Amino acid sequence: MPEELNQEGYDIPPEAQDSVVITTLDKIYNWGRRYSAWPMMFGLACCAIEMICTAASRFDFARFGMEVMRPSPRQSDVMIVSGTVTKKMAPLLVRLYNQMPEPKYVVSMGACAGSGGPFKEGYNVVAGIDQFLPVDVYIPGCPPTPQALLFGLMKLQEKMDNQSIKDVRWYSDEPDPGIPIPILGPDLIDPRDFPELMQIREEGEES
Amino acid sequence: MSEELTAAKTQPVSVVERYPDWVRPEERDGYHGVIVEPEHLVAFAESIRDELGFDFLTSVTGVDYHPEDRMEVVYHAFQSTGGGILEFKVQLPRANPVVPSLVGIFPGAAFQEREAWDLLGIRFEGHPNHKRILMWEGFHGHPLRKDWKEPFFIQDQKPFDQRWPEGAFAYIEGANAFNKNVQYPDEFDPASWSDNGGDQVYKSTEELSAEVDQEGIKTERLVVNLGPQHPSTHGVFRMVVTLDGEEVLDLEPVMGYLHRNHEKIGERNTYLMNIPFTDRLDYICSMSNNFGYVLAVEKLLGKRYAPPERAQYIRVIMAELTRIVNHYMTVGFLLNDLGAYFTPTMYALKERELILDIFEAVSGSRMMCNYYRFGGVVRDLPEGVEEQIRRLAYERLPRQIDEMDRYLTENEIVRTRGEGVGVLTPEQAIAHSAVGPVLRASGVPYDIRRADPYSVYDRFDFDVAVRYHGDVYDRYLVRIDEIRQSIRIIQQAIDGLPDGDVMATKPAYKLRMPEGEAYGRVEGPKGELGFYLVSDGSDNPWRYHVRAPSFINLTALRQMCVGEKIADIVAVLGSIDIILGEVDR
């Protein structure tokens, strides 16, 4: 532990080396967070089965402090979007994300969550969850193997390491407005697209 | 095979003779069954159920014959005592397709008729709950109609002529007016539009919760929503439950949260391209999904594509290994739902990993195997795999299933939570078209491997697992029994595995497909998995329909849950064993 946390350039007397660590606030803050990222327990599609395998004995992501899967978004830190996001599911997914407390991360697992994957052309498929949520790590594969998921989660830990308490969004003064929840109309409507939609309609009428 | 074909050929003739006023024979080449006049459909269905014993309506779907002005509703019925198929169709005009609903006679048609309405716009008169099922209310159009184009439409059939015009890479998003996978009908005006739809599901249960008086004591009825994000709905499944205290008064399943447009994409794909998509239907049992699909296509293709002996045996071994994986996981998750938390699942996943190693060795992928081909399997077993399977089938799995049995079967909590809960009588099970372990736990010994044998299953010695109480506990027991029977089949198959080729023909990207239709079905781990294909002679299927066992087993969910306590719903749902990829497709 001391090797990982200690700030270089501070000489600690030999007799105190086992009990004292001199470090920065960022480092210890991130060190605590990286080993206790609790994923949200929910699966969308095929990838969820591989996610369960990753939690089980052969792969076991408890080794990285991630074994506490929380069924409630209020208690989780990482949302692993494991599978195809359909238009019918998209509003609920955004709502779940909005319910998660900061700091929160999104891991897009598999081809479908990343881009729509093999089902991209489908009429009920959202071509990539990044249309709605800010994704931190993309994991390719259909489905990604448990090893790939573990690697993706380790990348997320690296990302946490590099964040600083000074500029993270959850300590900024502005309140987080959340992401507007998409609406199921004649097709999926993203509220942020409304002005653009009106414009396209008006242009269409003129021509 | 030949017997089966003759049975299918002779039956329609006798039906035509029996009901000369109601039906006429199918005259198109390659098509089977009979055509029923819409006005006589209900009488015909009642008569075949009561007089001919075709009490098991497994599949209902529609076909759109655009640009001909015709739509068809296709019904596949079987006898619950075993035997061949009775296929009947109703022909309707495309402009206003209305057909009487068969829910009164076969309650199992309820969800399938709703699906046909949702995707094809065929109206079923007299349906008690005539709503969309996979898409949401308010969605524009009926997507499986041939003239309905999805937002990312490029061309009617794959392979597309040119995906990269003049060598330049182009995103499909650019071709769409909204730069996204969305399109809106012309009459849609974002300025005046407001989200006034509300939730259709809550509306329908509102009437129930209005009544509150009971023996002078006012008890409020409660509507509880479970899912789609809920740890024990096995994915994105949703139930709206009306409660009186803890007792379930009504339950409405809501699905479609994983509707990935399997059938629409499947009709654009070539026949070969569909195999990897079938992997993703029931993503725990990809091998048996492949099996069902290739059987249906081989039925269309005819004798030239009959797989060689070795391939037949390999197919059976892989399908039975899949069944073991699935039942292990079902038992694990059921126990998880019953409150044993993750431990039984851990035991189940331990065995699953060993079987997945075999799948990875033969196909290259753990879950999405894509291993079966028309006329065989894609490659032979690699070195050492035969030995690995033998070791599993003879040593490890029998020991492990005994261990699981010892830990769980006599466990007091499992027994009290399972016995007498969610009972489905044999009559109800057949009427609701329940299949697989759900049907057999209700005392109906119906297993397609026996009732209508396919591949080489007639050569193996195995028992059909049946239990008679129809409750959650029996559904658990049937799965344990079936794992044992599957081990027996694998032992016989691996011992008798012949040498030789694994493909009947040279591998080809495109098939010369004759015109016609075929319904291929296998006894998948969850029950009857059927594929209905209509070919117009081109490289792509004209109609590609999946008769998904998880989806249709859910028809009986309400029947099983009403009158139980709310905590038992989770157990009942776990015992049905659904996979959302297959429910919603």
Average pLDDT over residues A52-56: 88
Task: Give the pLDDT score at A17.
Answer: 79
Measured CA to CA, the distance from residue B88 to residue B12 in angstroms comes to 9
Q: What is the mean pLDDT of residues B37-64?
A: 89
CA distance to partner chain B, nearest, from residue A103 (Å): 21
Share of chain B above pLDDT 70, in %: 92
Would you say B178 and A197 are in contact if contact means Cβ atoms under 8 Å apart?
A: yes
Give the mean pLDDT of chain B: 85
* Cβ pair A56:B173 closer than 8 A: no
B310 has a pLDDT exceeding 80: yes
Predicted local confidence at residue B200, as pLDDT: 57
Verify whether the Cβ–Cβ distance B140 to A46 is below 8 Å: no
Pull the structure tokens for residue B557: 């969910």
Q: How confident is the model at residue B217 (pLDDT cuts 50, 70, 90)?
A: low
Q: How confident is the model at residue B163 (pLDDT cuts 50, 70, 90)?
A: low
- Could you say which of B143, B191, B367 has the minimum Cβ distance to residue A123? B143
Chain A residue at shortest CA distance from B237: A44
- Average confidence (pLDDT) over B301-328: 91
- Is some CB atom of chain B closer than 8 A to the CB atom of A126? yes
Average pLDDT over residues B41-69: 88
Chain A hits for B368, CB-CB cut-off 8 Å, are 46, 142-143
For A145, nearest residue in chain B (alpha carbons) = B366
Q: How far apart are CA B514 and CA B30, in angstroms?
A: 8
Task: Find the mean pLDDT for residues A165-175.
Answer: 85
Is residue B461 predicted with pLDDT exceeding 60? yes
Q: Count contacts between A and B (CB, < 8 Å).
A: 159
Chain A contacts of B118, Cβ < 8 Å? none
In angstroms, the Cα distances linking A124 to A186, A188, B196, B257, B324 are: 12, 9, 21, 9, 33
Contact B231 A118 (CB under 8 A): no
Cα torsion through A49, A52, A57, A58, rounded to 10: 50
Instruction: Kindly report the nearest CA distance between residue B144 and chain A, in angstroms.
Output: 10
Closest CA to B266 of B34, B61, B524, B552: B61
| pLDDT (0 to 100) of residue B319 | 93
Among A residues 153-182, those touching chain B with beta carbons less than 8 Å apart: none
B171 vs B149, higher pLDDT: B149
Q: Choose among A45, A96, A142: nearest Cβ to B581.
A: A45
Q: Quick one: average pLDDT of A150-166?
A: 91
Q: Please list, in sequence order, all residues whose beta carbon lies within 8 angstroms of the beta carbon of residue B471, skipping any fewer than 6 positions away.
A: B418, B419, B420, B421, B422, B423, B441
Cβ separation A122–B580 shorter than 8 A: no
Asked if the Cβ–Cβ distance from A184 to B346 is below 8 Å, we say no
Residue B518 C-alpha, separation from nearest chain A C-alpha, in angstroms: 25
Residues B497-519 pLDDT 10s: 998 888 888 877 888 888 889 99
Most B CBs within 10 A among A124, A132, A198, hence the mutation to make, goes to: A124
Q: Is residue A137's pLDDT more than 90?
A: yes
Q: Is the pLDDT of residue B2 over 60?
A: no
Contact across the interface for A187 and B184, Cβ inside 8 Å: yes
**Residue of B146, B258, B360 to mutate for A, most A C-beta atoms under 10 A:** B258
pLDDT at B249 over 70: yes
Q: DSSP letter at A179?
A: P
Q: What is the pLDDT of residue B165?
A: 67
Q: What CA–CA distance (Å, rounded) separates B233 from B237?
A: 6
pTM for the predicted model, two decimal places: 0.89
Residues in chain A with CB shorter than 8 Å from the CB of B276 are 118
Q: Do the Cβ atoms of B349 and A56 come within 8 Å?
A: yes
pLDDT tens-place string over residues B560-571: 998 889 889 989
Q: How far is CA B304 from CA B60, B312, B371, B465, in A?
A: 30, 15, 20, 35
Average pLDDT on B97-103 reads 91
Q: Which residues of chain B are within 8 Å of residue A57 when distances are taken between CB atoms?
A: 346, 349-350
> Which helix (H) or strand (E) element contains residue B94?
none
How many angstroms separate the CA of residue B425 from the nearest CA in chain A? 32
**Which tokens belong to B123?**
């109206």
| Model confidence pLDDT, tens digit, residues A75-124 | 999 999 988 999 988 998 999 999 998 889 999 999 999 888 889 888 89
Cα nearest neighbour of B360 on chain A: A145
* pLDDT (0 to 100) of residue B3: 47
Is B21 exposed, middle or buried (CB count within 10 Å of its CB: 0-12, 13-18, 19+)? Answer: exposed
Rounded to whole angstroms, the Cα distance separating B342 from B414 reads 15
Chain A residue with minimum CA distance to B153:
A121
User: Given CB atoms, is A79 within the 8 Å cutoff of chain B?
Assistant: no
Chain B CB contacts of A60 under 8 Å are none
Structural domains of chain B, ranges and CATH numbers in brackets: 3-125 (3.30.460.80), 262-584 (1.10.645.10)
CA A204 vs CA A186, A187, B188: distances in Å: 18, 18, 12
Q: Is residue A4 predicted with pLDDT exceeding 50?
A: yes
Calculate mean pLDDT across residues A53-57: 87
Confidence tier at B224 by pLDDT (50, 70, 90): confident
Residue A20 near chain B (CB below 8 Å):
no
**A62 touching chain B per CB within 8 A:** no
Measured between beta carbons, which residues in chain B are less than 8 angstroms from residue A58?
A: 349-350, 353
What whole-number percentage of chain B has pLDDT above 90? 28
Average pLDDT of the segment spanning B267-276: 89
What pLDDT, on the 0 to 100 scale, is given for residue B9?
A: 45
pLDDT at B324 over 90: yes
Picking from B259, B282, B578 by the largest number of A CB atoms within 10 A of its own CB, the best residue to mutate is B259
Measured CA to CA in angstroms, residue B287 lies from B437, B471, B499, B522 at distances of 18, 29, 21, 11
Mean pLDDT of A60-73: 85
What are the respective helix, strand and coil percentages of chain B, to the nearest 5?
45, 15, 40
The answer to whether A75 faces chain B, any CB pair under 8 Å, is no
Distance from C-alpha of B281 to C-alpha of B31, rounded to nearest angstrom: 27
Q: What is the band of B358 on the pLDDT scale with cuts at 50, 70, 90?
A: very high
How many CA atoms, within 13 angstroms, populate the side-chain half-sphere of residue A132?
29
What pLDDT digit, counting tens, does each position of B418-454 carry?
A: 888 989 999 999 999 999 999 999 999 998 888 888 8
- Taking CB atoms within 8 Å and a gap of at least 24, the contacts of B15-23 are B15/B48, B15/B52, B15/B86, B15/B88, B18/B52, B19/B44, B19/B47, B23/B88
A60-69, B37-46, B478-487, range with the lowest pLDDT: A60-69
Contacts of B150 in chain A (CB under 8 A): 121-123
| Tokens at A94, concatenated | 């955004």
Say if the Cβ atoms of B182 and A188 lie within 8 Å.
Answer: yes
Contact B422, B472 (CB under 8 A): yes
How does pLDDT run across B186-209, given as a tens digit for each residue? 777 777 766 655 455 565 555 554
Confidence of residue B303 (pLDDT cuts 50, 70, 90): confident
Residues B188, A185: C-beta atoms closer than 8 Å: yes
Q: How far is B123 from chain A (nearest CA, A)?
A: 20
Can you read off the two tokens belonging to residue B190? 């974002």
